[in-house]
Amino acid sequence: MKDALEPLVIEELAKLEYDLVELRRGGSKSRPVIEVRIDRRDLQKVTIEDCTRASRAIEARLESDAGLGEQRYVLEVSSPGMERPLRRAAEWRRFTGRSAMAKIPSLGGRVEVAIVAVDGEDGAEIITVRDTKGVEHRVPLAEVAEARLVVHWK
């Protein structure tokens, strides 16, 4: 069902100038939960009002086009949070200079890196990252299995 929902959610969010960061399904059979993480295209922080607007639009679309009007479900719309996932090249570019925890097999698995640069486009992006020893590595973005921003509290 996630595969069927994702294009509908993306379309509704695009109308409101939001991007889908993450779509997850959870909960139980009797109380399914659809979790949607959104981001603003103008790069401002996601507000409660943004979440409310997105939730109303998504809910209306799910009930009309996805046939969920008769089913019980919980829709949760929120910001991606401070330790947000990084999936697309645009997200890596946006957070250049920040730290990320990334699963990169060629660098030994899960490593903390600083995002230095992103070069290339159209699925052939190369990220430049600096490991904790200060060594820079160029890695195809397609090789990154998963990644999240890291927040260091001082």
**Does this chain's domain 2-78 share its CATH topology with 89-149?**
no
129: Cβ contacts below 8 Å, ≥ 6 apart = 100, 102, 104, 113, 114, 115, 116, 136, 137, 139
pLDDT, position 1 = 46
| pLDDT (mean) for 81-90 | 90
Question: Tokens 């570019």 — which residue?
Answer: 93
pLDDT per residue as tens digits for the range 20-46: 999 998 888 888 899 999 999 998 999
C-alpha to C-alpha distances, 42 to 89, 105, 135, nearest whole angstrom? 17, 33, 33
| pLDDT (mean) for 79-103 | 93
Second-level CATH architecture of 89-149 = Roll (2.30)
Second-level CATH architecture of 2-78 = 2-Layer Sandwich (3.30)
Domain parsing of the chain, residue ranges? 2-78, 89-149
Structure tokens at 14: 């695009």
The number of angstroms, rounded, from the C-alpha of 50 to the middle of its chain's C-alpha atoms is 16
From the list 26, 20, 22, the residue with the least C-alpha distance to 54 is 20
0.85 exceeded by the pTM?
no
